[in-house]
Structure 1
Amino acid sequence: MELILIRHPIPDVAPGVCYGRSDIPAAAAALAAGHAALAPQLADALARDARLYSSPLQRCTALACLLGAPALDARLAEMDFGAWEMRAWDDIPCAEVDAWAADLLDYRPGGGETVREVAARVQSFLDELQHDAVIVCHAGTMRLMAAMAAGEPLLHAAQKPNQIKYCSTLRLSWPAKSV
């Protein structure tokens, strides 16, 4: 199966703010520009009966609804950063960030989710897929799916700096191919 992953448009939030599971909208201009750029790219996939899915967070659903009639799935949501949500990264104590860096897979940033828990729910979604899909989601979700498709350890996905641009696409084959 082919998966086309799309990162949501730029959210309407101040730079430097932690906003994982927070349900914030996409910036209006970014949403319009993202749709205009992506719709032609995705027309063939959606015409071939690829199913459209979206994280239920509004920065994803706004774009997904412009592309079609998405099925919303909570397993595609971004990581929950607990008490860190909507706080400036500079206001989060360094000791807490250092503790997370020391245990990327199992630390609960802000008391929220671990990377391992996010990976388990994303894996559950992938395990149920039986058809090509276009998926509007988040950079963290995309990085985990890419690692799973490549057969890489989760720690590699967690350690890589985010380089996924807003409204960019990533194409994957699923299930992962054996090496």
Structure 2
Amino acid sequence: MRLILMRHPPVASGSGLCYGRLDLPCDSAAIDASVAALDGWRGLPVYSSPAQRCLALAGRLAAPPIVWPSLQELDFGTWEGRRWDDIARSEIDAWAADIWHYRPGGGENAAMLRSRWHEAIAGWRLAAPEAAIVVTHAGPIRMALAEAGQLGAAERWSAPIAHARPYILEL
């Protein structure tokens, strides 16, 4: 099975903000670039995170897209919507020291994100599409690429995940 992973278009007003589950709208002008990047895969089933920034793109690719909560971004709990500069350095350092277990802002840790990614894989195996487009977030894409061996351990949390760029994953 081939998955074409696409990060949502950039958000309209998220510069400097911590947002994962915070449902910010995407920059509507950027949707066209994302649609164009997926032009060769038109007609495939489209799976999407329920976030409006993902659905804005997914809805342009398929009507209606298949919405899966397991494709959501990491939940940053009480950090959501706060400026990164306003979050105590000690909290960010604690998260960085134990990303697999520390729950930033009381939200989710990396182990929970990994579990959700494996839940999505199980769902695709049941649905058995030959190929599908997946509109999601940087966190799940990093996790997917790392779990597939396309990112090393050191890159898993720091690799830049571009908007309007398809990432191909073979399962």
> Which has the larger helix fraction?
1
Q: Equivalent residue for 2:164? A: 167
Q: Equivalent residue for 1:111? A: 106
Deviations 1:80-133 (A, max 9, x none): 000111111111000000000110111000110011001101111101212221
> Do the aligned partners of residues 59 and 122 (structure 1) sit closer, same or farther apart at CA in structure 2, a change above 3 Å counting?
same
CA contact (8 A) 2:21 2:74 kept: yes
The root-mean-square deviation of aligned C-alpha atoms, in Å, is 1.8
Aligned counterpart for 1:62 among listed residues 33, 50, 56:
56
Q: Equivalent residue for 1:150? A: 149
Describe how 1:21-170 pairs up with structure 2 within 5 A: 21-35=21-35, 37-43=36-42, 46=43, 50-69=44-63, 70-129=65-124, 130-131=128-129, 132-150=131-149, 156=153, 159-170=156-167
CA contact (8 A) 1:4 1:172 kept: yes
Report the TM-score when normalising by structure 2. 0.90
State the 1:151 CA deviation.
8.2
- SS of the equivalent of 2:21 reads coil
State the 1:7 CA deviation.
0.5
> Do the aligned partners of residues 152 and 29 (structure 1) sit closer, same or farther apart at CA in structure 2, a change above 3 Å counting?
closer
- Structure 2: how far apart are the matches of 1:72 and 1:139? 17
Report the TM-score when normalising by structure 1. 0.86
Instruction: Give the stretch that moved more between structures: 77-86 or 141-150.
Output: 141-150
CA contact (8 A) 2:3 2:168 kept: yes
Structure 2 spans left out of the alignment, 5+ residues: none
Moved over 3 A (4+): 157-160
